């Protein structure tokens, strides 16, 4: 990088194109996404995301993680572009001036690609009140896929937070149904801490997601304020889909009726709902607790 010409102009076309990627329409138009943060960029590279460009401001690469990433970038296949500190501040999100920022080709995962990663032949298991039974052997757990479905969630920060919790609790995948924000919004990438690149994820219409879950014999558990079953009284140890909606509107009618268990979390104060990422974390860790019994 020391021999590369440094971009110092905010009017440089490459800088303008990268900044435009903060807009969803531009991400769709260019077929590219913006990845802020050393940790997020490192996880994207490790996951095999195709990096097109990397903007580097060496004076800002102060941490050991940034320096390690900087040393790995020449082998990533990305075009490396040196930029001045003012230019990098224009590119970076908020105060995240960590010295490295990437532009990558937009991943285009599908329900089919998620299935290839997580689905294995297994018997169907319906939701039921928990009863004593044999403990599932640890080596059988990967076959009992557990996925989160987020319908109509608007805030990318919530999407990222759910992904982070899903990663921590060992979920198999996260699916956005009829999303109102795009999966690779920079805020979603940031709040996921880059786990958006390491976990199977995709977007699809609610009708397609529901059909896919039924095709693969998932038990479907929907979190609703008016749910009839306490969330601790459902068996999550088989292949399970945990479905959550937005705080404002909840789930649509697509996620009610036969074959879907509506669960509730206790609300003892004056608030009538939790943030979707908090509800998700509660359900994820209840499923993990049961699977570790």
Residue 137 has pLDDT above 70, yes or no: no
What is residue 119's predicted lDDT score, i.e. its pLDDT? 66
∠ Cα 151 155 158 (to 5°): 80
Q: Are 65 and 34 in contact (CB under 8 A)?
A: no
Q: What is the pTM of this model?
A: 0.87
* Residue 281 exposure: Cα atoms within 13 Å on the Cβ side: 13
Q: Are 1 and 56 in contact (CB under 8 A)?
A: yes
Residue 141 has pLDDT above 60, yes or no: no
Over range 22-27, report the average pLDDT: 95
Tokens of 168: 């921590």
Q: Are 180 and 156 in contact (CB under 8 A)?
A: no
Residue 128 has pLDDT above 50, yes or no: no
- Work out whether strand 219-223 and strand 32-36 pair parallel, antiparallel, or are unpaired: unpaired
Name the CA dihedral angle for 276, 278, 280, 281, rounded to a multiple of 10 degrees: 160
Q: What's the pLDDT tens digit per position in 241-252? A: 999 998 788 899
Over range 111-119, report the average pLDDT: 86
Nearest to 41 by CA among 15, 66, 16: 66
Neighbouring residues of 239: CB distance < 8 A, sequence distance ≥ 6: 122, 124, 125, 143, 144, 145, 146, 216, 217, 218, 219
In 10 A of CB 73, how many CB atoms? 18
């Amino acid at each position: 990088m020391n021999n590369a010409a440094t971009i110092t102009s905010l009017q440089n076309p490459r800088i303008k194109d990268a900044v435009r990627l903060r807009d969803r329409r531009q991400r769709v138009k260019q077929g590219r996404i913006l990845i802020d943060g050393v940790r997020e960029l490192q996880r994207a590279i490790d996951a095999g995301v195709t990096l097109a460009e990397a903007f580097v401001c060496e004076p800002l690469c102060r941490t050991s993680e940034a320096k390690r990433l900087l040393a790995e970038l020449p082998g990533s296949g990305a075009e490396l572009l040196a930029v001045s500190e003012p230019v990098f501040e224009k590119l970076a999100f908020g105060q995240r001036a960590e010295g490295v920022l990437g532009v990558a080709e937009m991943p285009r995962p599908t329900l089919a690609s998620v299935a290839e990663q997580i689905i294995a032949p297994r018997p169907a298991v319906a939701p039921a009140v928990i009863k004593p039974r044999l403990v599932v052997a640890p080596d059988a757990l990967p076959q009992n896929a557990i996925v989160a479905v987020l319908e109509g969630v608007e805030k990318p920060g919530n999407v990222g937070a759910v992904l982070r919790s899903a990663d921590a609790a060992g979920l198999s995948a996260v699916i956005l149904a009829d999303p109102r924000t795009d999966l690779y919004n920079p805020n979603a990438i940031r709040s996921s801490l880059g786990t958006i690149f390491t976990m199977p994820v995709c977007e699809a219409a609610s009708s397609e997601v529901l059909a896919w879950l039924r095709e693969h014999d998932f038990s479907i558990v929907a979190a609703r304020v008016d749910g009839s079953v306490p969330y601790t009284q459902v068996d999550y140890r088989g292949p399970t889909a945990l479905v959550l909606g937005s705080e404002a509107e909840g789930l649509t009618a697509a996620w009610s009726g036969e074959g879907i268990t509506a669960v509730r979390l206790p609300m003892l104060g004056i608030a009538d709902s939790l943030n979707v990422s908090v509800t998700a974390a509660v359900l994820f860790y209840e499923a993990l607790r049961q699977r570790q019994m």
